[in-house]
Amino acid sequence: MQTEAENTWDNEESRSPNSNSGNTLENTEPQASSLTKIKIIGGNPLYGTIPISGAKNCALKLMCATLLTGEDMYFENSPNSLRDMRSQRELLEYLGCKVEHEGSALTINAGDIQTYTAPYDIVRKMRGSILVLGPLLSRFGEAKVSLPGGCAIGTRPVDMHINGLEEMGATVILDEGYINAKAPAGGLQGAKILFPKVSVGATENLLMAATLANGTTVLANAAKEPEIVDLGECLIKMGAKISGLGTDTIRIEGVKSLNGTHHSVIPDRIETGTYIIAAGMAGGTIQLQNARIDTLSAVLGHLSQAGIEVTQSGNDIVVSREIERLNGVDIMTEPYPGFPTDMQAQFMALLTRAEGAGMVTETIFENRFMHVPELNRMGADITVQGNSAIVRGVEQLKGAEVMATDLRASVALVLAGLVAEGETTVNRIYHLERGYEDIVGKLGGVGANIYKA
């Protein structure tokens, strides 16, 4: 099993290659692999099978949940090769966890934690690190976690995480860019927490914190994403008392301690949705292995309107395009079970070649149209008005050199490249590698003319 000396990587917001922070971890900036671009020659229909990986946005939180017990935690279907997973492994090792991984197997033991501090140099690489705050505070009574700072797609404050912990009796002081949190003597107290806005991360942080708190916690207006249900099911296997997962009211009866367990990570619904759109745009028929249709209901409705049919067969999903040219459709992003914001850019790419127009409205993040100017460079016809974009379908896109700006924007450019005339070059692919395992191998395996350069 491998341990965590390998390189790490910074995500979309930090571009400073030389920030050595002198902490105990060897934190040299990664030897960026020389292959920083993806090149695509468009026009090939897709045929064959693509294996779907475990969900990034679940696995990252499951890793934080291991801090709630001193026993071994075993995960299967874990998307270990993702850059974000590397950053999270790096953070857990820094805290003192034993972390081993091989293929999609991951084992973590938090029996010998050395520090309760999550340093800026690691947290700035991946915002999901903020999810160690609740578990550390709940199990050890204190935590010092760097504030994640801004991000390409929005300001993304963590006020709801902090306010919730304060309602559970914690004292929280923001100082020098760090959240310094201390639990009251005897530990966190159960509380009734009403979120002013639906937040995936705040729901998860407080869900984990409440498992070891004294008494009952109720999370109202909670997020309902499938990744939260999967996290909750793993916590229940660890001995937590939780009800109401998948609803907007989650109830947690605190317990004295939690045990280790085995858990298989839920398939990645965003990766699944991305490949469904790839086949819908490029044509052909593909089979997505180990994918779940039930977690994509809002997306499938819009895809069907556009002309893409998706069927579940056993553990797989089969995708085919029924009509020559897809239809324009309007979408508006919302918390689950609404249309996921993490599918917005991919759906916009689909609309660039549809018959007629479609309106795309983004309600979750204030700056999530960074892919628009890049798609327009490829001959798309998109205009942005506030948090909406009008996409008028064009006959043909043309290959061009484009720049990735964030994870989902970058994959939208790859999708556009699959159908564009000629060659498309997507730069800064590290954005992609944060959330898509082996995308070049997976698309190349079903006939796309795609390679790293």
**Which of 347, 365 has the CB closer to ligand EPZ?**
365
Binding letters toward ligand EPZ, positions 9-48, x by CB under 6 A: ----------------------------------------
Task: Please state, in angstroms and rounded to a whole number, the distance separating the CA atoms of residues 441 and 333.
Answer: 30
Q: Which of 99, 133, 202, 319 binds ligand EPZ (CB under 6 A)?
A: 202
Number of helical H runs and strand E runs in the chain: 14, 24
Q: How many whole angstroms from its chain centre is CA 330?
A: 24
Task: Please state, in angstroms and rounded to a whole number, the distance separating the CA atoms of residues 401 and 237.
Answer: 48
Q: Does 161 bind ligand EPZ (CB under 6 A)?
A: yes
Q: CB neighbours of 34 closer than 8 A, spacing ≥ 6?
A: none
Q: Does 342 bind ligand EPZ (CB under 6 A)?
A: yes
Q: Which of 67, 200, 351, 412 binds ligand EPZ (CB under 6 A)?
A: 200
Task: Please state, in angstroms and rounded to a whole number, the distance separating the CA atoms of residues 238 and 263.
Answer: 10
Task: Please state, in angstroms and rounded to a whole number, the distance separating the CA atoms of residues 150 and 264.
Answer: 32
Task: Please state, in angstroms and rounded to a whole number, the distance separating the CA atoms of residues 312 and 319.
Answer: 9
Closest chain position to ligand EPZ (CB): 201
CA-based nearest residue to 204, from 150, 145, 164 = 164
The distance of closest approach from Cβ of residue 136 to ligand EPZ in the complex, given in angstroms and rounded to an integer, is 17
Task: Please state, in angstroms and rounded to a whole number, the distance separating the CA atoms of residues 1 and 381.
Answer: 49
Q: How many residues bind ligand EPZ (CB under 6 A)?
A: 22
Q: Which of 11, 57, 274, 346 binds ligand EPZ (CB under 6 A)?
A: 57
Q: Does 408 bind ligand EPZ (CB under 6 A)?
A: yes
Task: Please state, in angstroms and rounded to a whole number, the distance separating the CA atoms of residues 247 and 229.
Answer: 9
Binding letters toward ligand EPZ, positions 285-324, x by CB under 6 A: ----------------------------------------
Q: Which of 59, 291, 364, 418 binds ligand EPZ (CB under 6 A)?
A: 364
The distance of closest approach from Cβ of residue 323 to ligand EPZ in the complex, given in angstroms and rounded to an integer, is 29
Q: Which residues bind ligand EPZ (CB under 6 A)?
A: 57, 60, 128, 154, 156-161, 197, 199-202, 341-342, 364-365, 407-408, 435
Which residues are tagged catalytic? 151
